[in-house]
Chains A and B, each alone.
Chain A
């Protein structure tokens, strides 16, 4: 027969073994769950990648490889009366289809609303977006998204449309400029005036032209990278 000390020692030893076993089981369970989650993530990523492949061949390269940004600032030209462009298009009110932010994102197939500095906010509050469509289809889908600070000394003006760069009546960038590379997408960036940048690029078959006023170069790049996602 065991003495009480021997029995106590045996019981504490059994307890320690039990705890180690419990820890191992817990670890194994966590490992199994983690593996399963990883598998799910890989499967989801694979599925996402495959589904995107069907909509745009460009995206494959954009999403699969990380890239370092290379920023080149060119010179941009402000459009004046002497070099003004004409739209030569009649937009009929009856053809206008109003859209909210969610509709717009759905229409363009990508999130076109960037992350902007905290002092800037959307003045339109999501109103006034839309496309013009007649019986032949969409004939004008250029939209403008504006962000301003409280005294309008800082602003972001985004013009966008599908499949091409939007029509511009404000600034012009030479298409032969050396492009910056942001998240593997070529971006034509120019300086319009002091602290006034302009950037043009096509991402996921959507053409963007963005004019930044009063923003630093870092803030500008940050806004662009929030649109061009890796």
Chain B
């Protein structure tokens, strides 16, 4: 499915439509992934935009050893972590417009995730700690392999396997609390 690589090659060769295609295909997934880090859908959207902006300005080399999604999410994650470092003191500023955030996130969920059962899982995932959310998002929603997820999250494959196991366990407990059975989903 990963046409991102060819779109990126076209963009590097001067075709701006290549970047538009990348934004179209990867924007929403990237926002959700970054939302798992910063826990604010607006900030995640800004950071996703920053990710694409970085690509357009710096034109980083894509080796094609990994998938384009891995390449893109790695850049996005670095940008999000930098953002977190700079803004580690205040997240209260977002509390006031929480209902607006929730509304927009639900809309995005509906358009991107589509399947009802996945939406339920996604909502439960948001209650997990950031690392669990990230690994579940990458492996369950983005269909990335453990190896690809390890490249994005800068962890060894062994660590990722452990993280996936623990994240699933935590998700199971969260769903159980809300009256769902993990196996049913």
The answer to whether A8 and B19 touch across the interface, beta carbons within 8 angstroms, is yes
The answer to whether A11 and B56 touch across the interface, beta carbons within 8 angstroms, is yes
CB distance from B16 to the nearest CB of A (A): 7
The answer to whether A11 and B104 touch across the interface, beta carbons within 8 angstroms, is no
The answer to whether B104 and A1 touch across the interface, beta carbons within 8 angstroms, is yes
The answer to whether B23 and A7 touch across the interface, beta carbons within 8 angstroms, is yes
Chain B contacts for A195, CB-based, 8 A: none
Contact of A11 among B31, B41, B45, B49 (CB under 8 A): B49
For the A-B complex with A7-B27, A15-B56 known, give 15 more contacts whose Cβ atoms are closer than 8 Å.
A1-B31, A1-B41, A1-B104, A1-B108, A2-B45, A4-B23, A4-B27, A7-B23, A7-B48, A7-B49, A8-B20, A10-B49, A11-B19, A15-B53, A15-B57
Within 8 A of B (CB), among A1-48: 1-2, 4-5, 7-8, 10-12, 14-15, 18
Chain B contacts for A1, CB-based, 8 A: 31, 41, 45, 104, 107-108
State the CA gap A14–B19 with chains docked (Å): 14
Chain B contact surface mostly? helix
Q: How many chain B residues touch the partner (CB < 8 A)?
A: 18
Chain A contacts for B108, CB-based, 8 A: 1
State the CA gap A1–B104 with chains docked (Å): 7
Given A4-B24, A5-B20, residue A11 in contact with residue B52 (CB < 8 A): yes
Given A1-B45, A2-B45, residue A11 in contact with residue B53 (CB < 8 A): yes
Q: Quick one: which of A7, A10, A12, A18 has the most chain B CB within 10 A?
A: A7
Chain B contacts for A11, CB-based, 8 A: 19, 23, 49, 52-53, 56
State the CA gap A14–B54 with chains docked (Å): 11
Chain A contacts for B57, CB-based, 8 A: 15, 18
State the CA gap A179–B41 with chains docked (Å): 90
State the CA gap A18–B53 with chains docked (Å): 10
The answer to whether A14 and B23 touch across the interface, beta carbons within 8 angstroms, is no
Chain A contacts for B104, CB-based, 8 A: 1
CB distance from B61 to the nearest CB of A (A): 19
CB distance from B34 to the nearest CB of A (A): 13
The answer to whether A7 and B52 touch across the interface, beta carbons within 8 angstroms, is yes
Chain A residue nearest to B25 in the complex (CB): A4
